[in-house]
Amino acid sequence: MKGHVSIHLGTIDESATFEPQVVIFARNLKPWDDMDKGLLTFNAQPNWAPGDDV
């Protein structure tokens, strides 16, 4: 998405300060991966950008 960057949290030394805002590739979630059910969730990469009306 132009103007946005995806960062894998495993690449950040102090990732605990970040809070998820959206779940992308939810089709790959494992049963033990308890994501917040209130987050906007996509099974694949959406044609969407933060701030768009969804």
pLDDT tens profile 30-42: 889 888 889 988 8
In a domain, 12, yes or no: no
Could you tell me if residue 38 is inside a domain?
A: yes
Q: Is residue 40 part of a domain?
A: yes
> Distance (Å, rounded) from C-alpha 35 to C-alpha 41?
10
pLDDT at 54 over 80: no
Residues 7-33: tens digit of each pLDDT: 776 788 887 887 878 888 889 888 898
Q: Do residues 25 and 42 lie in contact, with contact meaning Cβ atoms separated by under 8 Å?
A: yes
Residues in Cβ contact with 23 at an 8 Å cutoff, skipping those fewer than 6 apart: 29, 35, 39, 40, 41, 42
The count of domains in the chain is 1
Residue 28 confidence (pLDDT): 87
Is the entire prediction scored with pTM above 0.85?
no
Residue 52 lies in a domain: no
- For residue 31, the enclosing domain spans 18-46
Please determine, for residue 53, whether its predicted confidence score (pLDDT) is greater than 70. no
The answer to whether residue 36 is domain-embedded is yes
